[in-house]
């Protein structure tokens, strides 16, 4: 149920229309989202663990609102956005908005409890105790988050961020309609990213769906139309239903970069239960831990995506058998990612493998016998065909999970293309019939049929 525009975009990708023209070896530069990060010294930036996609009894989760927040604090998170379905987040000591859709939570005996003012002040300042002593650093409250399309069976969910109060409250959405939610956030001067795209695609059933030109074009079309839609989740919770979203991300990057759009990857725990909390998260590089810095870092991409659990695949890995299951080992962590000409240096710890990916393919690998520290420089002048890369990105693997960098763009000076959505009569007709096929009665019938055969 995709638009003609997505099919055209995807077809263009398939036939190479979006490949960045080759350039002489010396005529490109590497543009890094980490360019301004200060890695060492007295002015070094902090590495802040956070989550931007979280639920509670305010919508459909099992954990009470206050307990979800406090448990993130106990588990070492430095910032948190509560993004309950169709409910725009407030400060944690304010009464959350209650929607009729979730009255069943009260009927089955679950509570929704805000933080007390004392708890809120303690959590945000770091004086609230963990194991009997003040934690020593606060957890920033990120307000204005909302997982939009609250009542869609197809799970076409979009995270709206930094929305004004009550904008998006009770936005139930339409089936198979990511764009409507993106448009809402855009009109409110918020920003957005697409949540768990593989869940919508059912890609866990077939890895080929994330490379299908029609699917790739569908997401690229939305991202190219709206500057405020800045990216998509590449890790979500335990990745059971989204195991190949990294591959989809690579394909969408290759489609969008010729138009000057760098698609940012996000990692979130999508927590509904206690056991989800440490499953996936982000590590933001910031000079200080404030809402303003968090918003800026979301848009700049100066952060890393972490997951504790990831199954193997034979396209970009990890190899079959890599299957971390909530190991207590520390997650692999970047300690430096710097660019010097055509060389990129990475220092990392708690990892046993480092790999570089360009244009959706692994181009270089460094391995250790066991988890430890890695210092490694990738010199693109030594990589055949590097001048034709659109981007490179780095992934770390270890006993504690997988951590990946954002895309570093290869800028060869090619003219940035102008994206023009297809507004032809044929495209409008296709969109109309998509809307008919996306009526909930038709979607419900499809879900029933799918449940029988899967």
Q: What confidence score (pLDDT) does residue 435 get? A: 80
> What CATH fold (topology level) applies to the domain 4-18+44-325+418-453?
TIM Barrel (3.20.20)
- The mean pLDDT values, 10 residues at a time, for the chain of 454 residues are 46 40 65 98 98 98 98 98 98 97 96 98 98 98 98 96 98 96 98 98 96 97 98 97 97 98 98 96 98 98 96 89 73 98 98 97 95 96 95 96 97 96 85 80 79 76
Task: Please check whether residue 421 is in contact with residue 5, taking contact to mean a CB–CB distance below 8 angstroms.
Answer: yes
Nearest to 277 by CA among 14, 71, 107: 71
Q: What confidence score (pLDDT) does residue 7 get? A: 44
pTM of this prediction? 0.92
Q: Where are the domains of the chain?
A: 4-18+44-325+418-453
What is the distance, to the nearest Å, from the Cα of residue 148 to the centroid of all Cα atoms in its chain?
15
Count CB atoms within 10 A of the CB of residue 208: 11
**CB-based contacts of 149, cutoff 8 Å, min separation 6:** 156, 157, 158, 171, 172, 173, 174, 177, 178, 180, 181
- Output the CA angle 43-49-52, nearest 5 degrees: 125
């Amino acid at each position: 149920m995709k638009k003609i525009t997505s099919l055209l975009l995807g077809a263009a990708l398939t036939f190479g229309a979006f490949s960045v023209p080759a350039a002489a070896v010396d005529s490109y530069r590497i543009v890094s989202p980490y360019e301004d990060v200060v890695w060492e010294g007295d002015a070094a930036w902090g590495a802040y663990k956070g989550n931007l996609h979280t639920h509670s009894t305010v919508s459909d989760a099992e954990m009470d609102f206050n307990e979800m927040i406090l448990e993130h604090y106990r588990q070492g998170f430095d910032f948190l956005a509560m993004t309950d379905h169709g409910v725009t987040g407030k400060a944690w000591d304010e009464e959350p908005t209650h929607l009729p859709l979730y009255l069943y939570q009260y009927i089955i005996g679950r509570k929704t409890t805000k933080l007390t003012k004392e708890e809120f002040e303690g959590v945000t300042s770091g004086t609230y105790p963990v194991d009997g002593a003040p934690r020593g650093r606060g957890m920033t409250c990120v307000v204005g988050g909302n997982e939009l399309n609250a009542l869609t069976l197809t799970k076409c969910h979009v995270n709206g961020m930094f929305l004004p109060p009550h904008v998006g409250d009770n936005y139930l959405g339409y089936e198979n309609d990511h764009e409507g939610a993106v448009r809402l956030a855009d009109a409110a001067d918020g920003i957005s990213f697409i949540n768990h795209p593989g869940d919508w695609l059912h890609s866990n059933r077939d890895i080929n769906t994330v490379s299908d030109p029609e699917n790739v074009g569908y997401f690229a079309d939305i991202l190219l139309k709206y500057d405020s839609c800045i990216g998509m989740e590449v890790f979500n919770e335990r990745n059971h239903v989204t195991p190949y979203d990294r591959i989809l991300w690579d394909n969408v990057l290759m489609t969008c970069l010729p138009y000057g759009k760098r698609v940012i990857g996000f990692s979130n725990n999508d927590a509904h239960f206690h056991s989800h909390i440490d499953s996936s998260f982000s590590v933001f590089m910031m000079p200080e831990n404030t809402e303003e810095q968090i918003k800026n870092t979301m848009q700049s991409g100066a952060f890393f995506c972490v997951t504790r659990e990831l199954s193997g695949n034979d396209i970009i890995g990890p190899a079959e058998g890599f299957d971390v299951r909530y190991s207590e080992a520390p997650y692999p962590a970047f300690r430096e990612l710097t660019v010097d000409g055509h060389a990129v240096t990475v220092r990392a710890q708690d990892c046993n493998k480092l790999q570089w990916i360009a244009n959706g393919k692994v181009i270089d690998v460094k391995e250790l016998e066991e988890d430890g520290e890695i210092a490694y420089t990738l010199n693109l002048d030594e990589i055949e065909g590097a001048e034709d890369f659109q981007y490179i990105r780095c992934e770390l693997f270890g006993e504690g999970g997988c951590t990946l960098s954002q895309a570093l763009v290869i800028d060869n000076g090619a003219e940035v293309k102008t994206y023009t959505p297809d507004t032809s009569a044929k495209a409008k007709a296709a969109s109309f019939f998509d809307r008919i096929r996306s009526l909930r009665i038709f979607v419900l019938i499809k879900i029933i049929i799918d449940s029988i055969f899967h």
